[in-house]
Structure 1
C-alpha cells in the first residue's frame, strides 16, 4: 500500500506539472500566455474567476437600452453586493456580471481604497478604457532626477522595440505627432476629431507653444487585423465586443496561445501562495484553492509568472512564507507590498461652445482628444513634481424644448442642442513607502486566508497638482473662447483610476527593489512579475501598454534563460 500511494502521488504531480504557470488572465497574463506558448512551453493559466468565452459569453453586447429591466441603472441589491465596485463609473447594469462580488471577497481599508476588480477569465482586459501611450525617458529618469523612489533599471531604448511589437499585434489607432515626452508608435489610422475639436486644436496650439491637442491613442481597430473586425463606434466596449474590435485577452492573446496547442486554462482557481523549495532555492509551483470544490491543490512548473494584478499579487507574495523568506517571497528588501500607487483624477472642467450648429459627428467614437503632459517638461513648477495630462472632447446634447408629451416631444428629442466641451485629467502619484498592502493574520477572509489591508492616500504633491489641474483647465477652455467655464468634482480616492501599481518594484539594487531589469525577482530567479506590481513610478499616462511591452520582453528573456539552464 505505501508503494501504491507513492506511485499515485507521483502520477498526480506529473499531471499537474507544466513548463510555466501564469497567475491571472488579464492584460499581462494573456500576453504571457501568448508569448510563452508560442515559444514552445506548455503553459497553465490560473484564473480565480469564472470562464468567459469570446462572443459566446457577452450576453448584453447587442441589447438595446430598453431591453434592460432597470434602464442601465444599478439596483439597491447591486450596490449592496458590490459596494466597492459601484464606486466606479464603469460598473453598470449591462456589465455587472463581469465584476467581483465584494461581499464574498472583502478587504480592509485603513484609508479608502477603491479596489475595482473583474472576476472572469480575461480580467480587466474586457473592461479597460483601451488608452495606449508610450512612456519616454522623461518618465524613466524621473525617480533618479528628483530623488523620489528608486531609479528604473531600464530606459526607453530598452522598451521601444517591445512597444513596436505589442502595438503591431494589438492594433493601436493614433496619429504621428513627434512629441518628445509622448513617443509615437506603430499606429493604425486615427479616429477623426469633430468640427469643434478641430477648431479647439487650432486655437490652443496657436495660443500656447508648449501644448498639443491630438486624437487619443486607443486599442480600438480602425482596420481589421488577424481575424478581428474594425470598431463600429458603438461605445459599448465594456460589454465585451463581438467584433473583437478592441484588444482583450479573450479576443486576441488567448486565441493566439490556444492556437499553439500549448495552453491550459483553469478558472475558479484562487492562488494562495507560491511554493518555494529551500534546498533548490527556487520556486517549484503554486498552491490554489478551487473556489467551486473548496479544496486546495498544487501545480508545478519551472517558471512562474505572477500577473494577478497589483493588490492580489501583493497578497500572493506576502502569503508565500518560508524559512528563507519569513516576510514573503523575495522580500529581503522589505519592499513587497510597499510603494502602492494609482493616478489621481476626479475633476471635470466644462464649458459651452457657440456656433457650429450645422455640424455633428458620426457614431460614438471610443476615444477623445488628448493634451499630453506639458508641466515640468522644460520649466519646473514651484508647486509640485511630475505632471498630468488632459483628455476629453466636444459633444452636443439634446435641444431644449417646451413639448411635454406625444409626437411634439418625440420630434423635439431628435433635434441636437448646443455644443459643449469637457476635459478631465489624470495626474502622477509619487511612490511612498508607507502606501502599502499588508496581511492581517489575526483576521481570516471567507476562504480561511489572512485578510488584505490596504493603507494608501494621496499626499501634498498630488493635492497641489490637483489644484493646478483645476486652474489650468479653466485657463485652457477660456483661451479657446468658450463660455460658462465650470469646474466640478474633487480628487479621487486611490484605486478609482483603476491603475494601481507598485508593491514589487523594478530596480538595480536588491536591497531596495524586488525585480531586476527583466521583471525577474532578485532573490527567486524563476519567478517573474509583469503586472502593475513591477512599476517603480506611475507617470501620468494609462499604463497598460507599458505592462504589455514589459511582459513580452520578460517572456523573451525568461525562455532564453531557461534554455541556458539559468532558471
Structure 2
C-alpha cells in the first residue's frame, strides 16, 4: 500500500492544509510538498489507490454480473446522475450516492460528485484546451460584464508548466482562437474523420477539423504508460495514461515524504482568528467516528469543487465575516460554474 501517512502519529498542526484531493487539490498538494511543506490533504471520502482500487479496469461486459447495466437498486442510488447515462456497473463505485447525498433542484441540474481520493479527476473527459486572447478580451470588446484583469500572456507560462507534467497530446496548428499547447504526439484521426476533415477544408476554407487535445499520454512520461486505446478510461487507467490525482500528482507529493492524506474527513468550516486577521485552521467531522477535530496551518487551500468549496466558505462565519469567510461583497454563493452534464 502506498504510504500516504494515513496511520501516522496523530497531529493537528501542519505547514499547509489542502481541502479536497481532486484535480486542483492534488496539484496543490504536489506543489506544496515539493516546496518542503508538511501538507495535510483532507478528503471526505475513501482512499482510492491507483490500480489496486480500479475493480472493473480489465473486465469485459460478460465478466460483470449485469453485463454493465445498473440494477434497479443501483438506479435508485444514482437517480440523479443516472439521468446522464454516464453511471454504469463499470463506474458506479466512483460516483457519490444520490440517495445518501440529496440536493434540491429548482431547475434540472446534475451535480456530479465523487467522494473519494482523486475526486472527479477519475471521471473527467480529459479534453484540455487553452483560452486565447479572444477569450480574455471578449468582455472588453463586447462591452458587457467585467473585463478580465489578466491576459493570455500572463498565464501562458503556467499553461506550459502544467502541460509538461500532465501530458497533453495534440497537434500544433497555429490557430489564434485555440493556442497550441506543449504537446505530445497527437492521436490519429480515423478514416471517416480524415474524409470529413478533407471535405470541410475543401468546402469551407479557413475551417478546421482537428484531433482532440487531451490529457492522454501517447508516449511514456515520468514512469507512466501510454494510452492503450481500450476505451475504458472511466473505470480508472492501470497504465496511468490519463491525468488524475491518483496516478500523477498525489504520487509526486507522496514521493517527497511530506504528504499526509486523511480520508473520511468532512470539512465543516474554516477557522478565522480575529486577532491575527487570517484563517488559521480547518474544522472537520470524522465520517467514521462523528468526532469534531480541528487542524491548524499557516496555509489553507480550498479545493473541494465549486459548490462544496462555496458551502465551506459560507459555513465559515465569524464576527469579522458574519456572511461567510471573505464575503464582504455578498457575492459568495452567486455566479457559480461547475462541470455538469446538463
TM-score, L = length of structure 1: 0.58
Report Cα offsets for 1:137-183 as digits up to 9, x if no partner: 21112233334432222111111111111111111110001110100
Partner residue, 1:289: 285
1:301 matches 2:297: yes
- Cα contact 1:122–1:250 (8 A) shared by 2: yes
Residue 236 of structure 2 corresponds to 240
CA shift digits 1:88-113 (9 cap, x unpaired) = 23211111011101111112222221
1:116 corresponds, among 100, 112, 115, to 112
Using the TM superposition, give the Cα deviation of residue 208 of structure 1 relative to its aligned residue in structure 2, in angstroms. Answer: 1.6
Once the two structures are superposed, the pairs formed by residues 51-200 of structure 1 within 5 Å of their partners are: 51-200=47-196
Provide the C-alpha distance between the structure 1 equivalents of 2:300 and 2:50, rounded to a whole number of angstroms.
26
Q: Do the aligned partners of 2:200 and 2:209 also contact (CA within 8 Å) in 1?
A: yes
Secondary structure of residue in 2 paired with 1:108: coil
Residues in 2 aligned to 1:313 and 1:285: alpha-carbon distance in whole angstroms: 15
Q: Report 1:111-510 matches (<5 A).
A: 111-341=107-337, 495-496=340-341
User: 1:114 and 1:256 mapped to 2: Cα distance?
Assistant: 32
Between the aligned partners of 1:149 and 1:243, the Cα distance in structure 2 is 44
Indicate if the aligned counterparts of 1:88 and 1:116 stay in contact, CA closer than 8 A.
no
Partner in structure 2 of residue 528 of structure 1? none
Counterpart of 1:483? Answer: none
Contact in 1 for aligned 2:306/2:337 (Cα 8 Å):
no
Give a deviation string over 1:477-500, Cα, whole Å, max 9, x none: xxxxxxxxxxxxxxxxxx325xxx
Taking a change above 3 Å as real, the CA distance of residues 153 and 230 of structure 1, as seen in their structure-2 partners, is same
- Equivalence map 1:518-557=2 (5 Å): none
Number of equivalenced pairs: 333
Tell me which residue corresponds to 1:558.
Answer: none
Uncovered stretches (5+) of structure 1, i.e. residues with no partner? 1-13, 344-494, 498-567
SS of the aligned residue for 1:143 comes to helix
- The equivalent residue for 1:35 is 31
Q: Which whole-Å CA distance do the structure 2 matches of 1:64 and 1:275 have between them?
A: 48
Q: Is the 8 A contact 1:274 1:286 kept in 2?
A: yes
Higher RCO (Cα < 8 Å, 6 or more apart): 2
After the TM superposition, list the runs of 4 or more consecutive aligned residues in structure 1 that deviate by more than 6 angstroms: none
Return the alpha-carbon distance in structure 2 between the equivalents of residues 220 and 22 of structure 1. Answer: 26
Max Rg structure? 1
Aligned counterpart, 1:377: none
Q: Retained in 1: the 8 A contact 2:77–2:97?
A: yes
**2:314, 2:281 → 1: CA distance?**
16
Q: RMSD of aligned C-alpha atoms?
A: 1.3
Structure 2 length normalisation: TM-score?
0.95
Would the aligned equivalents of 2:307 and 2:338 in 1 still touch at CA under 8 Å? no
User: Any gaps of 5 or more consecutive residues in structure 2?
Assistant: 1-9
